[in-house]
A and B are shown apart, each in its own frame.
Chain A
Amino acid sequence: MLLSDLKRNQLAEIKRVLPSPIQEKVMEMGCVPGTRISLALKAPLGDPIAFSVDGYYLSMRKTEAQTIEVKLVHEGS
């Protein structure tokens, strides 16, 4: 699944960051394969989205979250 499809309370692990002009930027912010990530906040209209990664909040646009492939670790409550 893509990071943009992540729902509240779900925990995921990044599988890979798809090649795109922002690939490097996404990765240097800590989104590299193996990193745990969860949804933290959604701006009004559901875009941009803030994720909790490495214990900090990282905000990105929906289209940017679509360049990150994740796999679900657990569903959450």
Chain B
Amino acid sequence: MKEAKSRITAALCGNPNCGKSSLFNHITGLHQKISNIPGTTIDLKIGHARIDDVDVKVIDTPGTYSNQAKSKDEEVALEIFEAQNPERPDVLIYVADASNLRRNLLYFSQLASYNIPMILVLTMMDTARKRGLELDLDRLQNELGVPVLICNGRTGQGVDKLKSRLIKPAFTCHYNFVQDAENPIASAYKSIDNLLTRTTHQKSREKLFTERIDPILTHPVWGYFIFLGVLLLVFQAVFKLAEYPMELIELGFDALGIWLYDILPANWIRSILVNGVIAGLAGVVVFIPQIAILFFFMSILEDTGYMARISFIMDRILRGLGLSGKSVVPLLSGAACAIPAIMATRNIENWKDRIITILVTPLMSCSARLPVYTLLISLAVPDTYVLGIISLKALMLLAMYFVGTAASLIAALVFKFFIKQRGLSYFIMELPVYHSPRWKNIGLTVFHKSKSFVLEAGKVILIVSVFLWFLASYGPNTEEGSIKPTEIEQLESSYAGYFGKTIEPAIEPLGFNWKIGIALITSFAAREVFVGTMSTIYSVEDEENIASIRSKMQSDTHSDSGLPVYSLAVVISLMIFYAFAMQCVSTLAVVYKETKQLKWPVLQFVYMTGLAYVASFVAYQLLR
């Protein structure tokens, strides 16, 4: 019998690593988006599927082990099950890893008490069979009173059956899971054990691939070597693979700017579009390749289960610094961009560990610093090779990455003593079974994370770029129709120029003049804007040609002494400043959004910029 067109809401629930996301992707295909739960800032994946005449809305809730929320994400997963919640789903699809049924059924037993109809989906049956599990499916179904289906998250086998089951009437679980008030978890496990002795049978098992390979990957010596090797490989790949698309994007935006410049009449609208909006957009879009490729590799590491081992071998070291093994993912992501890195701190349960990770992550050398370092290194470091093969310039760049990493770890150690502990720091974590990457999941993760980067960073950078365009285009003495003969004169008499000169006394001890001052100010949109500003200041026609900016900067001399402005001391001081200073407004905005307290972005800005000032001062005074 065909029903009239109707709609139902289904929620996917289950433990982390149970194959929930694969199932979600199989059910909804590409019809999914990330949206907020009303009244929160937590993003949930929501997808739609059309099954016969029914429109099914599927909510993918974050994986959790129980209904006692431990982290922010888990808290949200539970809110929607409350009876008064308007988003309360009509049916729960509970996904359980069959190879680990006992623990997977704990959360099931807790959800059963919410009296929402349920469907139990078992995944990873192949691993379960290898582990010697025999399951009486009919018996389990009868005992629970809800449909029990088997799905393969990798191949999608069984998903069609689940889909057609989804639109039939569903039932609430009638198995009596005991939850005595005194010891709810132990008693729930007791009733799960009773259920499992009646419905499963344990045979002898074979040794799993995971059990053979883990002693090597977590080995006291080889473990770290392998981790370092993987890290080097990933970053090498990120920079190499991103080079070409980044170049194309830059060329594309240049062409767009020139085209708009030609077709629009010469007025402020043209100026704001070309020098504000287009320049701002280019600054965001150019990082998409690097960030997408980094996300790609990070998702592979996470999806295969290796990331959990990295956390495992790094926890003892990071704990001493006030961080946790789980800080590894944010810190590594920070080497591409601090924005997604800070969003990735959400799965650190402990508040103090999370805050410290957020505070120190922007010290990791992000990719926006790369163009700045490249220009400055080419100014000061000669084209020589150490031992005949290692470029001195590459070595210098590596040193800057080292400086950033060391600074973030030292800063963490300092914060460890100043930030009060809230709750307990713990590292009770499942080490999931290794499996080959699920490419569809990885593809979708990369897409969604890149998208949220563009939206989060994009709007802030755009606003700041337009504001900076205003500062650089108008000055206190700008008159209507006044013509400045050159760009540099216009910049000099603009607000930005005045600011540059105003802060000159403050930055002089660091070796910086007012021109650098302007670049420091414009860098607040994004650090790489430094290069563009320098090319404007030195009236370079071809902005893309670093060599021409470099030669102009190199020939700049002090008018009184005749010595070059960009001496080694100034260049080193400037690089140190860019390594430490908090010059990224989008990151500050994300920190505020994630912590919901103004004091954290403020503290971050003050400590990082203060550190930059002091370190640059010391470097310049020692080297000059």
A residues engaging B (CB < 8 A)? 21-22, 24-30, 32-35, 40-45, 47-48, 50, 54-61, 64
Interface 1/0 per residue, B61-80 and A, CB below 8 Å: 00001101010000000000
- Partner of A60 from the list B193, B215, B427 (CB cut-off 8 Å) is B427
Inside 8 A of B433's CB, which chain A residues have their CB? 56
Contact A27 B65 (CB under 8 A): no
Given contacts A24-B185, A54-B102, A58-B428, 5 further A-B contacts (CB under 8 A): A25-B426, A43-B315, A45-B220, A59-B427, A64-B426
Contact B316 A22 (CB under 8 A): no
Of A28, A41, A58, A59, the residue contacting B215 (CB under 8 A) is A41
In the bound complex, residues from chain B placing their C-beta under 8 Å from that of A45 are 220, 316
Contact bitstring B396-438, A, C-beta under 8 A = 1, else 0: 0000000000000000000000000001101111111100000
Given the complex, which residues of A lie within 8 Å of B428, measured CB to CB?
22, 25-26, 29, 58-60, 64
| Minimum CB–CB distance for A23 against chain B, Å | 9
Q: B235 an interface residue at 8 Å Cβ cutoff?
A: no
Task: Give the CA-CA distance A27 to B189 in the complex, in Å.
Answer: 9
Complex alpha-carbon distance, A37 and B178, angstroms? 24
For residue B313, CB closer than 8 A to chain A, the reply is yes
Q: A59–B316 contact, CB under 8 A?
A: no
Neighbouring B residues of A28 by C-beta, 8 Å: 65-66, 68, 106, 185
Contact across chains for A44 and B316 when beta carbons are under 8 A apart: yes
Partner of B100, one of A24, A40, A42, A55: A55
- Tell yes or no: B154 within 8 A of A by CB: no
Measured between C-beta atoms, what is the minimum distance from B183 to chain A in Å? 8
A26 CB to closest chain B CB, in angstroms?
A: 6
A25 touching B70, Cβ below 8 Å: yes
User: 17 A-B Cβ contacts within 8 A?
Assistant: A22-B428, A25-B426, A28-B65, A41-B215, A44-B224, A45-B220, A48-B316, A48-B427, A55-B99, A57-B430, A58-B429, A58-B430, A59-B428, A60-B427, A60-B428, A60-B429, A61-B315
A48 to chain B, nearest CB (A): 5
**How far apart are B595's CB and chain A's nearest CB, in angstroms?**
23
A35 to chain B: closest residue by CB: B189
User: Which residues does chain B contribute within 8 Å of A48, judged by CB atoms?
Assistant: 312, 315-316, 325, 427
| Cα–Cα, bound, A10→B472 (Å) | 71
- The answer to whether A22 touches B65 (Cβ under 8 A) is no
In the complex, the answer to whether B185 meets A27 with C-beta atoms within 8 Å is: yes
Contact yes or no, A54 B186, CB < 8 A: no
Least CB distance, B225 to chain A, in whole angstroms: 12
Q: Binary interface profile of B, 315-326, with partner A (CB < 8 Å = 1, else 0)?
A: 110010000010
B residues sitting closer than 8 Å to A (CB atoms) are 65-66, 68, 70, 99-100, 102-103, 106, 131, 185-186, 189-190, 193, 210-211, 214-215, 218, 220, 223-224, 308, 312-313, 315-316, 319, 325, 423-424, 426-433
A59 to B42 alpha-carbon distance, docked (Å): 27
- Distance (whole angstroms) from the CB of B414 to the closest CB of chain A: 23
| Minimal Cβ-Cβ distance residue in A for B224 | A44
Give every chain B residue within 8 A of A50 (Cβ-Cβ): 214, 218, 312, 431
- Chain B residue nearest to A61 (CB atoms) is B427
Q: How far is the CB of A21 from chain B (nearest CB, A)?
A: 4
Find out whether the CB atom of B186 lies under 8 angstroms from the CB atom of A27. yes
Q: Chain A residues near B426 (CB, 8 Å)?
A: 22, 25, 60-61, 64
Partner of B424, one of A22, A56, A59: A22
What are the residues of chain B within 8 A of A22 when measuring CB–CB?
Answer: 424, 426, 428
Alpha-carbon separation in the docked complex, A24 to B110 (Å): 14
**Complex alpha-carbon distance, A42 and B315, angstroms:** 12
Neighbouring A residues of B424 by C-beta, 8 Å: 21-22
Which residues in B have their C-beta under 8 angstroms from that of A54?
100, 102-103
Q: How far is the CA of A60 from the CA of B190 in the complex (A)?
A: 23
Question: Does B427 contact A57, Cβ atoms closer than 8 Å?
Answer: no
Q: Which of A47, A54, A56 has the largest count of B CB atoms less than 10 A from its CB?
A: A56
**B131 — which chain A residues lie within 8 A by C-beta?**
55
- When the two chains form their complex, are residues A30 and B189 in contact, meaning their CB atoms are under 8 A apart? yes
Compute how far the CA of A64 lies from the CA of B189 in the bound complex, rounded to whole angstroms. Answer: 21
Which listed residue, A27, A30, A61, touches B102 by the CB 8 Å rule? A30
Q: Complex formed: what's the CA distance from A22 to B185 in Å?
A: 13
Contact of A33 with B316 at beta-carbon distance under 8 Å, contacts A25-B426, A58-B431 already known: no
Residue of B nearest to A28 (CB): B66
Q: Which of B68, B103, B220 has the most CB of A within 10 A?
A: B103
Which B residue's beta carbon lies closest to that of A44?
Answer: B220
